[in-house]
Amino acid sequence: MKLIHFADLHLGVESYGRIDPDTGLSSRFNDFLKTFDQLVDYAVESKVDLVVFCGDAYKTRDPTPTQQREFARRINRLSQNNVPVFLLIGNHDLPNALGRATTTEIFGILSVKNVYVSGKPEVVNIPTPSGIIQVASLPWLRRNALMGREDAKNLTVEQINQKAQEILTGIVQSLAAKLDPSIPAVLAAHVWVQGATTGTEKGMTIGQEHVLLPGNVGRPEFDYVALGHIHKHQVLRESPPVVYAGSLERLDFSDEKDEKGFYVVDINKKGQVTYEFHPVDARRFVTIEVKVESADADPTTTVLRAIAEQGSVKDAIVKLNLILPEGLESQLRENDLREALKEAHNFTMTRDVQRTARLRLGDVGGVEALKPLEALQKWLEFKNTPPEKMKVLMEYAEKVMGAGEEN
């Protein structure tokens, strides 16, 4: 049985994009669709038995009709090619009020062929070309869905998170108890598991979150644990495999060094699982940092050399960070820098100007109010000049300045 595991699509992230003249859509929206298409192409061409999506279809809980149309178009292609799809509800899929629909609930309401949607803890038996597979579902559960106000009364935030962890652990145990041990089983969960290396999801998270231990989800009843919510793909445990697929496309510069894609999972028979990360062609993010020295006679050439050493920036999203001393900023030929980066999909330039600290004279008035010897003494004190050296310098200064006044 061959599965695809992916998560955190986040359609609607359009930062660093521009309007595509052919479609009228953000170029970044098209980026996310292109990586999704690569997954769908692989699933159809390889005739996989099941695609497991572990939550967060959209950036927001209120996706636009266009975003919903494009997501549905690709889910429909899988369905029409007899590739079953399991859609788990993530935190970005939840409405902001009880009674409102989740972002992917419509597929279940319409009973779309080969599409299974889960917004509650349950075990779903899914028929595939290679037989039945059991998917134990742990969608994102709000804290108020886990415990009532009375349960949380007089508890600290840490105690509330601990109680939520205990409840979630109990839910996973009860799901595992319902499984038929003779049939392959996967846990699909949208949750934070301790030990995971975080990525761009940190900037999309509000407040503190409950965290589960790897042992809470990596139970022997499961052949594979498919996780969503953390945007960096990683394996937390080997037996059974506890795996975050990560986001399918780079969201911002926090993802610059991360490879993006999905996992292909082979369940040969109960307890025998192999898995492999399959990268997609995601948009590149490139940071170029250049430090210009104060003695540099041509800072623009220095920056252009650093850009050239980076290699091709064609179609990449580029951030050029310049660190330069005060006074050289005006010598940069910005048009030359823009020309060097014209093939980038998008680029931003930041300047960190290292300014010289100015002497603070405390309660003394302006410099004009100080006599020359007083100003010199203040300067020497500011420079932490040793007392013996300062005494000698002041003696010479008094002679020089005194002679100047006499003449």
Quick check: is 359 in a domain?
Answer: no
In a shared domain, residues 180 and 244: yes
CATH number, position 23: 3.60.21.10
SS3 of residue 404 by DSSP: helix
What is residue 100's predicted lDDT score, i.e. its pLDDT?
82
In a shared domain, residues 157 and 21: yes
Q: In this model, does residue 359 exceed pLDDT 60? A: no
Please state, rounded to an integer, the average pLDDT across all residues of the chain.
89
**What is the percent of the chain with per-residue pLDDT over 90, rounded to a whole number?**
66
In a shared domain, residues 207 and 225: yes
In a shared domain, residues 192 and 239: yes
In a shared domain, residues 84 and 218: yes
pLDDT band with cut points at 50, 70 and 90 for residue 201:
low
Euclidean distance between CA atoms 245 and 36, whole angstroms: 13
Let me know the angle formed at the C-alpha of 94 by 241 and 125, rounded to the nearest 5 degrees.
45
In a shared domain, residues 33 and 102: yes
SS3 of residue 86 by DSSP: strand
**What is the percent of the chain with per-residue pLDDT over 70, rounded to a whole number?**
89
pLDDT band with cut points at 50, 70 and 90 for residue 206:
very low
In a shared domain, residues 152 and 189: yes
Quick check: is 362 in a domain?
Answer: no
* Exposure string over 384-406, b if 16+ CB within 10 A, otherwise e: ebeeeebeeeeeebeeeeeeeee
- Which residue would you say has higher pLDDT here, 46 or 269? 46
Q: What is the pTM of this model?
A: 0.82
Domain that holds residue 375: 367-406
Q: Tell me the per-residue pLDDT of 25-60, one tens digit each, with 9 for 90 and over.
A: 999 999 999 999 999 999 999 999 999 999 999 999
Q: In this model, does residue 123 exceed pLDDT 80? A: yes
Q: Tell me the per-residue pLDDT of 284-327, one tens digit each, with 9 for 90 and over.
A: 999 999 999 988 889 999 999 999 999 999 999 999 999 998 88
Average pLDDT rounded to a whole number, residues 128-143: 92
Average pLDDT rounded to a whole number, residues 114-134: 95
In a shared domain, residues 213 and 156: yes
In a shared domain, residues 124 and 64: yes
pLDDT band with cut points at 50, 70 and 90 for residue 379:
confident
What is residue 237's predicted lDDT score, i.e. its pLDDT?
94
What is residue 381's predicted lDDT score, i.e. its pLDDT?
86
In a shared domain, residues 184 and 239: yes
In a shared domain, residues 172 and 217: yes
The answer to whether residues 212 and 164 touch, using CB atoms and an 8 Å cutoff, is no
Quick check: is 129 in a domain?
Answer: yes
Quick check: is 162 in a domain?
Answer: yes
Q: In this model, does residue 365 exceed pLDDT 60? A: no
Count of domains for the chain: 3
